[in-house]
Amino acid sequence: MESKNRREILGSVAALLAAPLVLGKEAVVDTFFKTKAEAEPEPRLAITPPAHSVKRRG
């Protein structure tokens, strides 16, 4: 019984420690440390309507 409880506790502690590494590494770091500002995303492509074109229907 005791060994079962110990196993469960150890398992939860391991999960708490390991989970950020598997999935939430950035979450842990960002919670406690300031990170650098993210790089500017690439500018989006500009969609401009055609000049002088005549549509059939809209």
Partner 1 sequence: MDKHIHHDPNDLLPIGTPRHWRSLDERAETPEARQAAHDEFKPGAMDPEDRPSTNLSRRTFLTLVGATTALAATVACDKKGRSTVVPYTKRPQEIVPGVANHYASTFPEGRRAYSVLVKTREGRPIHITGNDEHPRLKGKTSPRALSDVLRLYDPDRLRLPKISGRPSSWVEAEQTLVAALAAAKREAKPVLLLTGATTSPTRRALLKELQGAVPTLRHLAWEPSLGDAAQEGALAAYGTAVDIRPRLEKAKVILSLGADFLNGDDPEAIAAFTAKRRLSEPVATMNRLWVLEGAMSLTGTNADQRVPVRSSRLAALAFALAKELGGTANVTVPAGLPASEGISTETWTSLVHDLKAAGREAVVLCGDAMPAEAHVAAALLNNLLGSQALDIRATESLATLKDLEAVRQDMAAGKYAAALLWDVNPAYAFPKAADWKDAFGKVPTRAWIGLIEDESAAQCTLVLPEHHWLEAWGDYLDDSVLTLQQPTIGALYTSKQGEDFLLTLLKGLGATKAPDYHAYLQARWQKEVQPAGSFASFDRFFQSALHDGLVRLEGKATTAPTFKSTALADMAARAFASQPSGFELLLRPGTQVLDGRYANSSWLQELPDPITKATWGNPLSLSVADAQALGVKDGDMVELEAAGTKLRHPVILQPGQAKGTLALALGYGRKTGGVARGVGFNAFPLLALGTSDPNLQFGTKLSKARGHMDLPVTQSHHRMEGRDLVRSFSLAEFTKEAEHGHAHIEHATLYPEQSFPDHKWGMVIDLSACIGCSACSLACQSENNIPSVGPDQITKGREMHWMRIDRYYEGEIENPKVVHQPMLCQHCDAAPCENVCPVNATNHSPDGLNQMAYNRCVGTRYCANNCPYKVRRFNFLEFTADKIEPASLVYNPEVTVRPRGVMEKCTFCVQRIQDVKIRAKGDNRPIKDGEVQPACAAACPSHAIVFGDLKDPNSEVSKLAKSKRGYKVLEEVGARPAITYLADLKNPAIVSAHEGATHE
Of 34, 38, 40, 43, the one binding partner 1 by CB under 8 A: 38
Instruction: Decide if residue 9 touches partner 1 (CB under 8 A).
Output: no
**CB-CB contact of 19 with 25 (8 Å):** no
Tokens of 30: 């960002």
Instruction: Decide if residue 43 touches partner 1 (CB under 8 A).
Output: no
Indicate the residue among 4 and 55 with the shorter CB distance to partner 1.
55
DSSP category for residue 45: P
Q: For residues 39 and 56, give the distance between their C-alpha atoms in angstroms, rounded to a whole number.
A: 43
Chain residues in the site for partner 1 (CB under 8 A) = 11-12, 15-16, 18-20, 22-24, 27-28, 30-31, 38, 42, 45-58
